[in-house]
Amino acid sequence: MPHGSYKPVEEDFDRMAESGITWISADFAWMDIERERSVYNFSYFDFVVENAEKKVYG
């Protein structure tokens, strides 16, 4: 879960693509990736990048 209150879902990327958006920017907070020392979880950020590539940039 990202730092802050907003977490995009797959449908958000569909709406971006339908609206003609071709470029997005996202901040990734390290505290969301490494919540425990030396334990890394990139799953949310992988989700964002994969959906952006597939739906917005694809």
Q: Is the dihedral of CA 50, 14, 22, 54 positive or negative?
A: positive
Q: Given the structure tokens 């490494």, which residue do they identify?
A: 34
Q: Are 13 and 55 in contact (CB under 8 A)?
A: yes
Q: What is the pLDDT of residue 36?
A: 95
pTM above 0.85, yes or no: no
Per-residue pLDDT for 56 more than 70?
A: yes
Per-residue pLDDT for 18 more than 60?
A: yes
Per-residue pLDDT for 2 more than 60?
A: no
